[in-house]
Amino acid sequence: MNILINVEKGIHLNMPRLKLVFKKDESLIRKVRSIADCRWSATMCCWHIPDLKQNINLLNQLFSNRVQFIDEGLPSNLSKQQVISKKKAPSLVPELCLEQMRIKRYSPNTIKTYVSVLNTFFHFYKSYSPTAITEEQIRKYMLYLVEERDVTAVYQRQVVNAVKFYYEQVLGKKLNPMNVQRPKKSKKLPIVLSEQEVMLLLKQVTNLKHKCILYTIYSAGLRRSEVLNLKIEDIDSARNCIVIRDAKGNKDRNTLLSNKLLVMLRDYYKEYKPKEYLFEGVNGGQYSTTSLRKIFGRALKASGIRKDAHLHTLRHSFATHLLERGTDLRYIQSLLGHSSSKTTEIYTHITTKGFENIASPLDEMEI
């Protein structure tokens, strides 16, 4: 098995990274994760590491002759040094496609995702014009993603949505549904923390700003983007609520403002004096996603909790804890900003409320 190393620009903080593409294998993943600053990209469905000389040497040591270096989609007349000095590889996504997404008012995150997966798709058929790629080639690409790349169902759905958008909404071509089938959705339950685990995790944070950020996410059930986009005026203490503006699906909503959080935010405001966003970086402006992940990651590690929890786990935990405390599912749906009650109903499968009144048949057996 070869590991294909593609030189990618601007994957993280505009720094050159090496994209590692290989069929899923736990032993290979363990080796890759041993490399410093190795990260997983859910959007690109790959591992990536800093493009450093020592990392290239390390890859050769770890995988001997199974490494193949590829400068995917880059002009052949550029040297490696010229290539890595560039911040971004040239995009193959037509400007008309970008304009159509803006006209339809797609969110920045959706546009970023569509551009990423379409770029990878067009690079796969880089000898063809995007308008010349046939439906049979689309079908073969989907098969390649499943059999060779072993991508997740989430990534596959992103590809299907982006390809359908380009051909149907931009080119006006109706694709045969057989060639762009969405994979069956998995029915995995999200990971949640118990109330005791949330308390333990939050106690690990001592920095006032970091504490306010995590308290806000959990107490109001916010998405990552929602807490980053909060403005100072969105904290409505008079009405005892937090106003979430232009959230997923371009919807506004109100959610809970915890009394404990409000006291903490007042102390935070006096100390940090944010100008526009509620939580700002050291030099002002919106707080970074990377810093947000690091805050949670450090707290989780310090807590000793062994669950595979992520920042979004706090949102899932918020909803589950409300349900276990008897909150009506309709209110939880409104607080989370779910369009469909079916999305909220997943928390009824997570809660263990009532289990204490049910005995396992094994406990009744005299064995």
Concerning whether 223 is annotated as a catalytic residue, the answer is: yes
Concerning whether 166 is annotated as a catalytic residue, the answer is: no
Concerning whether 231 is annotated as a catalytic residue, the answer is: no
Concerning whether 315 is annotated as a catalytic residue, the answer is: yes
C-alpha distance from residue 84 to each of 10, 73, 274, 339 (Å)? 10, 13, 37, 43
Concerning whether 347 is annotated as a catalytic residue, the answer is: yes
Q: Which pair of structure tokens corresponds to residue 45?
A: 């469905």
Query: How many whole angstroms separate alpha carbon 180 and alpha carbon 295?
Result: 39
Query: How many whole angstroms separate alpha carbon 301 and alpha carbon 290?
Result: 16
Catalytic residue among 114, 268, 277, 347: 347
Cβ contacts of residue 78 below 8 Å, gap of 6+?
71
Sequence letter at residue 226: E
Identify the three-state secondary structure at position 11: strand
Please spell the DSSP secondary structure of 248-316, one letter per residue: TTTEEEEEE--HHHHHHHHHHHHHH--SSBSSB-TTSSBPPHHHHHHHHHHHHHHHT--S---TTHHHH
Catalytic residue among 9, 19, 149, 338: 338
**Vertex 190 angle, CA 184 and 195, to 5°:** 170
Catalytic residue among 140, 157, 312, 353: 312
Q: Contact at 8 Å (CB) between 350 and 192? A: yes
Catalytic residue among 17, 210, 211, 315: 315
Query: In the block, which residue shows the tokens 């590491």?
Result: 49
Catalytic residue among 66, 123, 224, 248: 248
Concerning whether 312 is annotated as a catalytic residue, the answer is: yes
Sequence letter at residue 51: D
Catalytic residue among 209, 223, 245, 353: 223
Catalytic residues: 223, 248, 312, 315, 338, 347
